[in-house]
Amino acid sequence: MEEKIDVLLTTYNGEKYIKEQIDSILNQTYKNINLIISDDSSKDGTRKILEQYEQKEKRIKVYYQPKNIGYIKNFEFLLKKVESDIYMLSDQDDVWLPEKIEKTYEVLKREQADLVFGDLEVVNQDLEQIYPSFGDFMKLNRKIKKYIHSYQLNYLYNCVTGCTVMAKKEGIEKVLPIPTNSKYLIHDHWLGLITGLEGKLAYVPEKYIKYRQHGNNQVGTEKISHQFKTLEEVRNLFIQVKLGIFITYVENNDKFPKDIQKLNVKAYEYFKKIENRKNFNFRKWGVFHQLYRTETLLYYIENFFIMNLPCLAKIAFKVRYFGLKLMKKR
C-alpha cells in the first residue's frame, strides 16, 4: 500500500490559477495524499474556490488565516500541521505533471534522503515554455551536481526551489521557527540549508513542474541586478543580500556546528566591513575565498572584483553594460 504523503499548499489571492494547480495535485498517479491548504486571508475569490474543493474532495483540508501573516509564516503554519511521515511543498500557481509525486518519492526512498528537490520547466502564464530548465537558466546545476551532499550547496545562496521539495517529517523540528528577519533568506533556502547540515539531500534533474511566471510571483526567475545601470547599485544589492543571510545565520548560530558558527560570524563581519569600502578592500580576502571557493572560476573572479576592487570592476561593468545595450539586451 502507498505511504501517505501530505502536500502543503499556501494561497493568497490566487483565484486565477489555483484550480489548475489543485487539479494537477489531485490527478497525480500517486493517490495516497492529503492536500493541506492555508489561505493567507485572500481578498479575491480564492476562499470560495477552496470551499468548493473542500466540500467535494475528502483528501483536502483547508485553513483560513484571520489576517495576513505572509507566505513564509504561512508555510511554517502548514509545517506544524503535517501528520504523515513525508510531506511536500506546493505553490498556488504552478502545474504538476501527473507523475511528480510518484517519481520524487522513488528518489527519496532509493537515495534514503531526508529531502529531495528538483528542476523545473519555466513557463509563462499560458504554460508556454520560457526556459526548459530553471537550474540551467539560474546556473545552479553545476553546483547542485558537485555539492549535493554538502552544506555548502545552500550556504552562500539558495539552490533549493521550495515547490519541488519532498522531505521527511522528522526534520521539521530542526528547521522551525523559520527566520523572517531578512527578505533575502526565505523558507526553501532555510529548509535546504538546515536539512543539509546533518541530513542527506537528493536531486531530481527531470522537470515535473511547470513553473509559471506571470508578474505576481512571490519568487521567480527575475534577476534584479539586471535592472541596474551602475556597478554601485549591483554591489550594494549583493552586499545587502549577504548581510541579510549571514546576520540570520549568526542570530541562529545554535543550529550550526561549531566550525560553521565561526564562519558565520567572520562572513557577516566581512560584508559589514566592505559595505563602506567603495573603492578598495585589502582585508579578509581569506574569508571571501572560504565563501566563494565552491563557485566557478568566472563567478569567483567577478565577485572578487565587485566586492574587493570595485574601482576596477566599474570599468568592466560599463563596457559590458553598453555592449548589452547595443545588442538590445538591456
pLDDT tens digits, residue range 282-323?
A: 999 999 999 999 999 999 999 999 999 999 898 877 766 555
Q: Residue with C-alpha cell 539586451?
A: 329
Rounded to two decimals, the pTM is: 0.91
pLDDT of 277 strictly over 50: yes
User: What are the grid coordinates assigned to 53, written together?
Assistant: 474543493
Q: What would the pLDDT profile of 158-210 be if each residue is shown by its tens digit?
A: 999 999 999 999 999 999 999 998 999 999 999 999 999 999 999 999 999 99
Rg (CA), the chain: 21
| Residue bearing the bigger pLDDT, 140 or 220 | 140
Separate counts of helices (H) and strands (E) for the chain = 13, 9
Task: Tell me how far CA of residue 191 lies from CA of 8, 194, 202, 260, 291, in angstroms.
Answer: 14, 6, 13, 17, 20
Q: What percent of the chain has pLDDT over 70?
A: 92
Sign of CA dihedral 194, 103, 213, 93: negative
CB neighbours of residue 103 within 10 Å: 19
Q: What would the pLDDT profile of 2-38 be if each residue is shown by its tens digit?
A: 899 999 999 999 999 999 999 999 999 999 999 999 9
pLDDT of residue 221: 46
pLDDT of 216 strictly over 90: no
Using pLDDT thresholds of 50, 70 and 90, give the confidence band for residue 272: very high
Beta partners for residue 63, in sequence order:
38
Q: What would the pLDDT profile of 63-112 be if each residue is shown by its tens digit?
A: 999 999 999 999 999 999 999 999 999 999 999 999 999 999 999 999 99
pLDDT of residue 161: 97
pLDDT of 125 strictly over 50: yes
pLDDT of residue 81: 98
pLDDT of 214 strictly over 60: yes
DSSP 241-261: HHHHHHHHHHHTGGGS-HHHH
pLDDT of residue 228: 76
Which string of b and e fits 211-221 if b means at least 16 CB within 10 Å? bbbeeeeeeee
pLDDT of residue 321: 56
pLDDT of residue 174: 96
Distance between CA atoms of residues 71 and 69, nearest Å: 7
Residue 63's SS3 state is strand
To 10 degrees, the CA torsion angle through 255, 159, 41, 84? -70
pLDDT of residue 314: 87
Q: What would the pLDDT profile of 145-172 be if each residue is shown by its tens digit?
A: 999 999 999 999 999 999 999 999 999 9
C-alpha angle 137-143-147 in degrees, rounded to nearest 5? 150
Q: Residue with C-alpha cell 483547508?
A: 62
Distance between CA atoms of residues 1 and 263, nearest Å: 46
Q: What would the pLDDT profile of 318-329 be if each residue is shown by its tens digit?
A: 766 555 555 555
Q: What percent of the chain has pLDDT over 90?
A: 88
Phi-psi category of residue 157: left, alpha or beta, with phi > 0 → left and psi -120 to 50 → alpha: beta
**Average confidence score pLDDT of the chain:** 93
